Amino acid sequence: MNPATSIPPGPRPASLTARVGNQAREFWEALRNTPEAFRLVWLASRRAALAGIGLTLIAAVLPAGQAWTGKLIVDAIVSAIKQGMEPVVGLRFVLPYLALEFALLLISSVTSQVRTLFDRILQSQLTNHVNSLMIRKAISLDLQFFEDPVFYDMLQNARRQADTSALNIVNSTLQMVQQVITLASLVVLLLRFSPWLAVIVFVSAIPSFLSQSQYAERAFRAVSRRAPESRLLNYLEMLLTGNDTVKEIKLFGLGEPLLKRYQELFTRFYLEDLGIAQRRTLAGLGWGLLSNLAYYGSYAWIVLRTVAGRITLGDMTMFLGIFRQSQSSIRALLDGLNRLYESNLYLDNLMDYLKLQPLLVSRADGLIAPEPIRQGIEFRHVSFCYPGSDTSVLRDINLHIRPGERIALVGLNGAGKTTLIKLLTRLYDPTEGQVLLDGVDLREYDLKSLHQRFGVIFQDYVRYQFTVRENIGFGQVDALDDLARIKDAADHGGASPIIEKMPQGYDTMLGRRWEKGQELSGGQWQKIALARAFMRKAEVLVLDEPTSALDAEAEYEVFRRFGELMEGRIAVLISHRFSTVRMADRIVVLAAGKILELGSHAELIQLDGAYARLFNLQAEGYR
């Protein structure tokens, strides 16, 4: 044999026992989230959880009692016939047993209905509890999570069946406890007749259980693997039905092409799920047939012993009922274990999501951010790469912003202007170097107090589909009820004339999401957003191109007033309009993540470098 082409010996195939052992170990490991599910349900509604446990215990003992009562009724009827009782006398003889059976049936019915009621109550409360946990976790996480598509895949999987999975785990566990108690009581009765029937009951149900758990895992893996494509499916639906996209979809004729892409993706998901469901159904039918054969074989044997006079007709009725109920209970027990396993897989996604921890955290002894700022802000040898990237967005930035100074950042798209703002407001930490506030690294400050010192409006500001009052008041949420302050902020942002013309003034609902909501133009929305920035009496106010939808005159007026209002405080603005930028005390020119030039408008024009070239290009457009 040629050594160059010979295949190296691989690991020997695992034995059947080892494979079964591994599968069993993986199965039990997958149930690790069961205590967490009970904790979630308990925190969602203790009353409903306790009611579910109590009703489960009641339901567990009813089948054995019903089977024994059935035996008493049949034996009483046979006895009445043998003794030649009159029908009325015979009925009186049997009536107590009938009343007992009716009472048990009534208890079973009431238990079932009340349990359903508490399940619905618990489902609603659990949904609220789990959603609140997920939202609170999202609030606690850093910006970098929300700029990572892998995080959205995790969030997509965590949302899927999170609340129902937790309830299913609890219900499946309680159902299993119920079936175990039921089986124990039935087996005690069954052993009186034949131990072998108890063995047959258990063995005939196991293959179906193993088969179903295998296909449950396949279905879960398929759904989890498709998380990115599922988000694409949701995105396509949003594009085709959203208010923000409908104009382009219609004008560019994108409706049918995007719908075709949506249907192709949905069909691929459907066919994959259908294949798993079909194989799961065929396996269920096969093992179900085996279970039925075991039942009817045992049925024939019990009838034979009854005909032979070994047991009474009442015994036969009871044993057949017990055998059928035992087989049903074992099947329900194993089905519950399957559901428990499958639900644990889905809950695993939620637990992984809830274990995420923010990377930017306040120190336990974090300093309170200064008010007022006395020494200013300093970028000291700051470089930055976004997580997962080797490309430096900022390179060795050194910049000192003095108290009360107005700084403008200019540069082409991608120069690093917005990234600099993210580091300034500690939405990210530098990869290298330090950002200092009054000579102290931002990482030394309490994060909440630090963020209170900044008022920021980004170029992708939020258009809250709420009232005007809320849209402005969100700039300082603890002053949401201070209408005088809100009106003052609206004046400073230039939004007052717009609001005065609205039907309900500051109580006017904005946006088209709600009935009677009033939509605004881009420029009007920007003035509302500017008012939100002025709402916060911050030590540092940052405007990241929030006036791009305003005309040049309106923008100039906003920044003129902006300069007056920020007297004694730090102001940082980003704008592509040099007529506005020239009002800054100093202008920082960024290119490829580095500071290319730094100085006042007059100094940079005299330097005749990159800034002068860009300024003259823009000025030429107005001539």
Element at 200 (helix H, strand E): helix 195-225
Q: In the prediction, which pLDDT does 192 show?
A: 64
Residue 42 has pLDDT above 80, yes or no: yes
| Contact (Cβ atoms closer than 8 angstroms) between residue 415 and residue 592 | yes
Find out whether the peptide bond into 372 is cis, omega within 30 degrees of 0.
yes
| Residue found under tokens 């009054």 | 438
Residue 296 has pLDDT above 90, yes or no: no
- The band of 47, judged by pLDDT with boundaries at 50, 70 and 90, is confident
Q: Which residues contact 224 (CB under 8 A, 6 or more apart)?
A: 157, 349
CA distance 71 to 379: 88
Residue 24 has pLDDT above 60, yes or no: no
HEC profile of 493-517 = HCCHHHHHCCCCHHHCEECCCCCCC
CA distance 397 to 378: 10
CA distance 340 to 209: 12
Closest to 420 (Cα-Cα) out of 580, 263, 609, 572: 572
Extract the tokens encoding 386.
């976004």
Q: Is 542 left (phi over 0), alpha (psi -120 to 50) or beta?
A: beta
| Contact (Cβ atoms closer than 8 angstroms) between residue 41 and residue 170 | yes
Mean pLDDT of 54-58: 83
Mean pLDDT of 249-271: 76
What's the one-letter identity of residue 91? L
Q: In the prediction, which pLDDT does 264 show?
A: 83
Extract the tokens encoding 9.
């010996």
Residue 227 has pLDDT above 80, yes or no: no
Half-sphere exposure of 327 (CA within 13 A, CB side): 22
Q: In the prediction, which pLDDT does 557 show?
A: 67
What's the one-letter identity of residue 22? N
Q: Which residues contact 25 (CB under 8 A, 6 or more apart)?
A: none
Mean pLDDT of 251-272: 77
- The band of 4, judged by pLDDT with boundaries at 50, 70 and 90, is very low
Q: In the prediction, which pLDDT does 566 show?
A: 65
CATH class of the domain defined by 463-537? alpha beta
Element at 619 (helix H, strand E): helix 610-621
* First-to-last C-alpha distance (Å) of the chain: 84
CA distance 130 to 139: 14
Q: In the prediction, which pLDDT does 423 show?
A: 92
Closest to 31 (Cα-Cα) out of 342, 349, 333: 342
Residue 11 has pLDDT above 60, yes or no: no
* Between residues 72 and 18, the one the model is more confident about: 72
pLDDT in tens, 392-405: 899 999 999 999 88
Closest to 24 (Cα-Cα) out of 176, 210, 164, 207: 210
Q: In the prediction, which pLDDT does 411 show?
A: 83
Cβ neighbours around 492 below 10 Å, total:
19
Fold of 22-354: ABC transporter transmembrane region fold (1.20.1560)
Q: In the prediction, which pLDDT does 8 show?
A: 39
* Between residues 517 and 426, the one the model is more confident about: 426
Mean pLDDT of 147-161: 77
How high is the mean pLDDT of the chain? 78
Helix, coil or strand: residue 102? helix
Helix, coil or strand: residue 453? coil
Q: In the prediction, which pLDDT does 212 show?
A: 58
Domain boundaries, the chain: 22-354, 463-537
* Between residues 448 and 281, the one the model is more confident about: 448
What's the one-letter identity of residue 343? S
Residue 134 has pLDDT above 50, yes or no: yes
What's the one-letter identity of residue 96? P
Name the β-bridge partners of 407. 572, 586
- The band of 158, judged by pLDDT with boundaries at 50, 70 and 90, is confident
Buried b (16+ CB within 10 A) or exposed e, 168-182: bbbbbbbbbbbbebb
* Between residues 554 and 263, the one the model is more confident about: 263
- The band of 6, judged by pLDDT with boundaries at 50, 70 and 90, is very low
Name the β-bridge partners of 573. 408, 543
Mean pLDDT of 332-352: 75
pLDDT in tens, 470-525: 989 888 888 888 999 999 989 888 889 999 988 889 999 898 877 778 888 877 88
* Between residues 125 and 316, the one the model is more confident about: 125
CA distance 517 to 274: 43
CA distance 536 to 492: 12
Q: In the prediction, which pLDDT does 440 show?
A: 92
* Between residues 442 and 143, the one the model is more confident about: 442
Q: Which residues contact 348 (CB under 8 A, 6 or more apart)?
A: 30, 33
Residue 91 has pLDDT above 90, yes or no: no
Mean pLDDT of 55-71: 79
| Contact (Cβ atoms closer than 8 angstroms) between residue 382 and residue 429 | no
Closest to 33 (Cα-Cα) out of 355, 353, 345: 345
Q: In the prediction, which pLDDT does 51 show?
A: 85
Q: In the prediction, which pLDDT does 436 show?
A: 94
- The band of 3, judged by pLDDT with boundaries at 50, 70 and 90, is very low
Cβ neighbours around 530 below 10 Å, total:
27
CA distance 173 to 49: 12
What's the one-letter identity of residue 219? A
Residue 623 has pLDDT above 60, yes or no: no
- The band of 438, judged by pLDDT with boundaries at 50, 70 and 90, is very high
Chain center to CA of 380: 39
Closest to 42 (Cα-Cα) out of 52, 33, 32: 52
Helix, coil or strand: residue 364? coil
